[in-house]
Amino acid sequence: MGLKDIKIEDFTYNLPEERIAKYPLAQRDASKLLVYKEGNVDEYSFKDISSLVPSDTTLVFNNTKVIHARLIFHKTTGARIEIFCLNPLEPSDYSLVFQSKKSCVWDCIVGNSKKWKTGSLEMPFEYNNTEYVLSAVRDFTDGESNRIRFSWNCEDLTFGEVLEITGKIPVPPYLNRDSEDSDTVRYQTVYSKYEGSVAAPTAGLHFTDSVIESLKNKGVSISELTLHVGAGTFKPVKSENIGGHDMHTERISISLETVKEIVETKENVFAVGTTSVRTLESFYWIGVKLLEGVEDIDFIGQWEIYDLKQDYTRKEAYEAIYNYMKEHSIELYVASTKIIIVPGYDYKVIDAIVTNFHQPNSTLLLLVSALVGEDWHKIYKFALERDFRFLSYGDSSLLFKK
């Protein structure tokens, strides 16, 4: 059986509704921590993580920041239209679009779309005791994709600031609740920096400044990269075989400093979250492309990694990226990836992952299985029996490569 023939039904388990954490714990680092190592499963507190990560480790965080991507408009008829910002189009660069003044264009999902045939939607908002208006016009529609042109009549405000005032944090749909004021802080990591995600890299939600400081004091190196999480992260697998599932494209970036850190790491690289895993492994394959003279070095396709040469070391691939960045005076390498990691994939960069507990029948569960093999059944059984909390606001795990 080939990798594309893997049946998604083999990656299911019974997740009772009451085990889904609807809200975070009062303290970020008070969650439980499941540790899987050498076939054994144990329970700790997340506060213990610095004692469990070896000192000769580079720990890699995704520093993306969740944007207030949900905009609720009301037509004069009373109809409620929800616009969910997905990807910037004009300008297409995240950092530029959030600095835009007066107008910008996004690819969006529109809820209750049939109630919005034509015309402009308007949302009044207040800034410095003055009322302004955010307007939305739909240029065209293609299936679920909508090209929306936003404009606002306050020259002092950037689009990023307008979103902060008018938008809502997009909590995951499986929470079955609207976002609340508390989500503005708690559905964001303490180290988030660069705006662009419509979902949090939730493994990082458990980290506090004190936990990070304790890791540093132990001698653990802290590095960062960026993957802006798209709505596709919640896209269910509807095909019987994983080969029929189309992965979403995500923007990734890595600094010269982080590349250098990974080149110089002699022992362990641990990824905080599946987004960090996907970014680290994607850049490894960009390094392989550089070594192999492949032209398209700014994009990783869904299945192409399984056809590339497999025996370069982590150091060799990342040295190739480092040399390329130095040669072309690139401080931040920006690329795109559709990488899918399934059982049978040989991890090239990471030795362990910090991650939450994922939905049944999800590509994220396939990614975990690629790391721990069939023991994912043992891990999830342990978590269910020991009352671990599941999904985005749930408890955490530290999984070592089998």
Q: Which two tokens stand for residue 129?
A: 């005791």
Beta strands 250-255 and 332-337: pairing type? antiparallel
336 CB-near residues (< 8 Å, 6+ apart): 249, 250, 251, 252, 298, 299, 300
Average of pLDDT values for 277-291? 98
Average pLDDT, the chain: 95
Tens of pLDDT, residues 365-398: 999 999 999 999 999 999 999 999 999 999 999 9
Domain stop point among 138, 167, 196: 167
Could you tell me if 200 and 190 are in contact, meaning their C-beta atoms sit under 8 angstroms apart? no
Is residue 182 one of the residues assigned to a domain? no
- Whether 181 is in a domain gets the answer no
pTM exceeds 0.85 for this model: yes
Residue 172 lies in a domain: no
pLDDT at residue 235 in the model: 73
Give the number of other CB atoms < 10 A from CB of residue 193.
11
When pLDDT is averaged across residues 155-166 and rounded to a whole number, the result is: 95
pLDDT digits (tens, 9 = 90+) for 80-136: 999 999 999 999 999 899 999 999 999 999 999 999 988 999 999 999 999 999 999
Structural domain contains residue 343: yes
The whole-number pLDDT of residue 23 equals: 96
91 prior amide bond cis, ω within 30: yes
- Percent of the chain's residues with pLDDT above 70: 99
Position of tokens 């497999």? Answer: 310
Which 3 state secondary structure label does DSSP give 86? strand
pLDDT at 143 over 90: no
Least confident range from 20-24, 228-232, 353-357: namely: 228-232
313 — phi, psi (to 5°)? -80, 165
Parallel/antiparallel/unpaired status of strands 352-356 and 396-400: antiparallel
Domain membership of residue 54 (yes or no) is yes
With a pLDDT cut of 90, the percent of the chain lying above it is: 90
**Going along 157-232, which residue ranges are E strands?**
194-197, 221-227
Q: Is the pLDDT of residue 231 over 80?
A: no
- The count of structural domains within the chain is 2
- The reply to whether 191 and 251 lie within a common domain is yes
For the cut 90, the answer to whether the pLDDT of residue 147 exceeds it is: yes
- 32 close to 48: Cβ distance less than 8 angstroms: no
pLDDT tens-digit readout, 17-48: 999 999 999 999 999 999 999 999 999 999 99
Which of the listed residues 135, 167, 199 is the one where a domain comes to its end? 167
2 against 152, higher pLDDT? 152
Query: What's the rounded mean pLDDT across residues 314-328?
Result: 98
Whether 174 maps to a domain, the answer reads: no
Residues 230, 341 within the same domain: yes
Which residue shows structure tokens 């990807």? 87
Enter the DSSP assignment of 92: -
Residue 32 sits in the same domain as residue 156? no
Helix axes 376-385, 363-372, angle to 10 degrees: 110
Distance (Å) of CA 16 to CA 264, 273, 359, 386, 387: 44, 23, 11, 14, 11
**274 plus 151 within the same structural domain:** no
Do 126 and 257 belong to one domain? Answer: no
Q: What is the DSSP string of 338-377?
A: -----TT---SS-SEEEEEPPPTT-HHHHHHHHHHGGGHH
Q: Residue 369 belongs to a domain with what CATH number?
A: 3.40.1780.10
Residue 395 inside a domain? The answer is yes
Q: What is the pLDDT of residues 164-223, one digit of tens each?
A: 999 999 998 889 888 999 999 999 999 999 999 999 999 999 999 999 999 999 999 999
**Inside any domain, residue 177:** no
Q: Which of 136, 167, 198 is the last residue of a domain?
A: 167
d(CA 385, CA 279): 32
Amino acid in the structure at residue 29:
D
Please give the pLDDT value at position 117: 85
Whether 118 and 150 map to the same domain: the answer is: yes
Check whether 1 has a pLDDT greater than 80. Answer: no
Q: How far is it, in rounded angstroms, from Cα 101 to Cα 83?
A: 20
Shared domain for 159 and 206, answered yes or no, is: no
Question: Residues 104, 124: one domain?
Answer: yes
* pLDDT at residue number 84: 94
Range of the domain at 40: 3-66+187-400
CA 241/CA 260 separation, integer angstroms? 38
Q: Are residues 386 and 241 in the same domain?
A: yes
For residues 15 and 40, state if they share a domain. Answer: yes
